[in-house]
Amino acid sequence: MTGIQRQEAIKAALSNPDAVISANQFAKQLMVSRQTIVGDIALLRARGEQIVATPQGYRYQVKQQHSTMIVVQHNAQQIEAELMALVNAGVTVADVQVDHPVYGLLKGELAIQSVADVKQFVYHLSKTSGEPLSSLTNGVHMHCLEYEDSANLEKAKIALQQLHILYEA
C-alpha cells in the first residue's frame, strides 16, 4: 500500500462523523508503524484536511452551531467534576488553553462531549506522567465550549458557578 492509498484509507475511516481512531489502531489496521500514521496525518493536515488529534484519537473537526470561551480556575482534583458539569449541561469541551508567561497561548484539543469521553480523559490523565496544562498557570485556564442552544451554555455556566470554579471578574 502506498502512502497516498494509506492516506485515502485514513480519510475514508474518519469520514464517519462518529469515528475517533487512534494512531495505534490505524497502524494495526494498515500494517505500518504508529509514526508512519502520524506522518500521514500531518501530510493530510498540510493539504487542508480538518483532522484533529484528541485524547481519544483522530477525528474530523466537527463544529457545532455556536462557540464561546470561558475562564475557570481549579486544582487537578476538580477536573472530572468540571468536565462532567459541562457535558451534563449539553456542551462540548473543544479544547483547553492557558496563557503562559513565556510561550504565550498553549492549547490542547479535547473534543469531550460525553460522560464516556470524560471518564476516558480522566483515566488517561491518571495513567500518564503528564500534568494538565492548567498546572502551568495556578489552575487558571480557558475552554472553548461548543453548543447548539444558548440554554445549554447557561446551564454550563451555572454548574461551574455552583462548583465555585468559574473565573469571573
Contact between residue 73 and residue 138 where contact means Cβ atoms under 8 Å apart = yes
Neighbours of 7 (CB within 10 A): 19
pLDDT at 153: 96
Summary count for the chain: helices (H), strands (E): 6, 6
Q: Which of 5, 11, 162 is nearest to 88 (CA)?
A: 162
What digits encode the pLDDT tens for the residues 125-156? 999 888 899 999 999 999 999 999 999 999 99
pLDDT at 22 over 80: yes
Secondary structure of residue 43 in the 3-state scheme: helix
The answer to whether 66 is a known ligand-binding residue is no
Is there a binding annotation on residue 164?
Answer: no
Domain 66-162 has CATH 3.30.413.10: no
The pLDDT of residue 136: 92
Helix segments in the chain, DSSP class H: 3-14, 23-30, 34-46, 79-88, 115-127, 150-162
Are the CB atoms for 112 and 127 separated by under 8 Å?
Answer: no
Q: Which amino acid is at 52?
A: V
Domain residue ranges of the chain, discontinuous segments joined by +: 3-60, 66-162
**pLDDT of 64 over the 70 cut:** no
pLDDT of residue 63: 66
Which set of grid coordinates corresponds to residue 110?
A: 479535547
Task: Give the per-residue pLDDT at 18.
Answer: 77
Distance CA 103, CA 88 (A): 33
Mean pLDDT, rounded, of the chain: 92
Task: Give the model's pLDDT for residue 151.
Answer: 95
124 is known to lie in a ligand binding site: no
pLDDT of residue 85: 98
- Cβ distance 111 to 117 under 8 Å? yes
Query: Can you state the angle between helices 3-14 and 34-46, rounded to 10 degrees?
Result: 80
d(CA 111, CA 93): 6
CATH topology of domain 3-60: Arc Repressor Mutant, subunit A (1.10.10)
